[in-house]
Amino acid sequence: MLEPKFDRRRRGCSRKLARISYSHDMDDLLVLRDKVGRLREEIADIQKLNEQFRRDGWNGADAQVAHAQRNERLQAIQHELVRLADLGRKVVLSEQMKEKHRTRLHVIKQDRA
């Protein structure tokens, strides 16, 4: 991930590569479920605001703009959920392959013993 960092010598911004490391013990599916849970909460909040918007009679330009922004956010959430679903499938497949590999190693070790 690139993030701007102020460079005093150049008196401007430069790009610096930020490295993020994760624990090898991290449960990827748990992280994905947590993210999906937060998105569900955000969807519920948006739904409440949209219900209020409809109930109050669609008043004013500000209300229309806010409604449009909420709809844009819902579309962004939808795209993010599709991306997370793809990632989740990859995580599951990866875990299945690891387990299959562990099983094969276990069988090989037993044969050698």
Task: Answer yes or no: is 20 within a domain.
Answer: no
Task: Answer yes or no: is 8 within a domain.
Answer: no
Q: What are the residues whose beta carbons fall under 8 Å from the beta carbon of 2, sequence distance 6 or more?
A: 15, 16, 17, 18
Q: What's the whole-number average pLDDT of the chain?
A: 78
Task: Answer yes or no: is 7 within a domain.
Answer: no
Range of the domain at 99: 26-112
Task: Answer yes or no: is 95 within a domain.
Answer: yes
Number of domains in the chain: 1
* pLDDT tens-digit series, residues 57-107: 777 888 889 999 999 999 999 999 999 999 989 888 888 888 887 777 666
Task: Answer yes or no: is 1 within a domain.
Answer: no
Task: Answer yes or no: is 6 within a domain.
Answer: no
- Determine which helix (DSSP H) or strand (DSSP E) holds 16, and give its type and residue range: strand 12-17
Question: Two tokens at 76?
Answer: 């962004």
